[in-house]
Structure 1
Amino acid sequence: MNNHKKLTLEQREELLKTVKTRFEKNTNRHAGLDWAAVQEKLEANPEKLWSLSIMEETGGEPDVIGHDTQTNEFLFCDCSAESPKGRRSVCYDRQALESRKEYKPQDSAVEMATEMGVELLTEEQYRALQQLGAFDTKTSSWVQTPPEIRKLGGALFCDRRYNTVFLYHNGAESYYAARGFRGLLRV
């Protein structure tokens, strides 16, 4: 992962071109929103642009999925068909990672999201994303877990099977090749 948190001019231009193309190709995800306004916000927030580049670099295919009128923020989410490939095989959080005695995964979803400057989706956000398309039909994604569940050692994840979104639980220390996480970036 690029830890400089700065993009070169060439990287910025390439990223903006990629994201603009995706934005224009998937207007159903952000009806009524204008790319010029999104680009202006991105260019004014280089650290958010860096986070967006990491979302892209790890296979998330980020796109705008909404606009929060109260905070005037555009909401970017990973819109790859399956859980981003560069963020799979991770347990839930640092505590879960440290609790494993053998066969530790490389990282945890919560730590990776924090390093990237994004949030894990909540169950509600995950379900809203599924209204925009069919995501995670072969994979699954960790979602934010309520503290009372996490305190007992569990963590939550979602997927889409049989044209239905399911919420499941697992030990937070578990990890699977087909489970990753989707991020939400507010710009």
Structure 2
Amino acid sequence: MSRVFISNIPEKFTPQDLQLLFQQANIPCSYPEPLKILKSKRHKADGSSTGRFIVLNFDQDVVAYTAIDAINMMVLTVDQKVSSIRAVPFIPNFRSYLENPLSQLVIYNVPIELGSNDLKDLFSEFGSVLYAMVKRPWSRDQPATAMGYVLFENKEQADTAMESANGRFLGPNQLYIVKQSDIQQQLVDDMDDMAPEE
């Protein structure tokens, strides 16, 4: 059985609203009874996260990944405010993996037709993929390519994937891959550059 972690559920969304949303999107999952939305103690107060989440069960990995893609493409309007819920595979101790940016890859120029399960299959040849997600552009004004995120079990597998797949062509799209740690370091460097001189 596959479990999916769904977060950033709008404050006014009830469990019944969530069930109806998934039924309308033909997402076949088994709900814990009674369905209950939980609140994280670590949510951000800046409005980027509500801290509300739920974990759903699916019979098969492929169904779970299809549901993840469908959920991540949803755009909700609640009280005239646009928001989106987020879905990722449920991984015990997920935070400890995220705290190691050396095992995370960011893939640019992903073909728009690829889904999260496709990305997971593609990178599984390099090691144990704990998490894969494709983010598609929200509007037609944005480029017709997507971004991918892949989390490996360890740094060595991520290194192998980066060395082997960086520059590889998927159809007409040439992949450009960087480590999450490189992006974080670039952000730090950019912030240092913008700091006022003393």
Query: For the superposition of Structure 1 and Structure 2, which TM-score range results when normalised by the shorter chain?
Result: 0.3 to 0.5
> Who wins on radius of gyration, i.e. which is larger?
2
Higher strand share: 2
TM-score by length of 2: 0.32
Relative to its length, the structure with more helix (as a share) is 1
Higher RCO (CA 8 Å, separation ≥ 6 residues): 1
TM-score (norm 1): 0.33
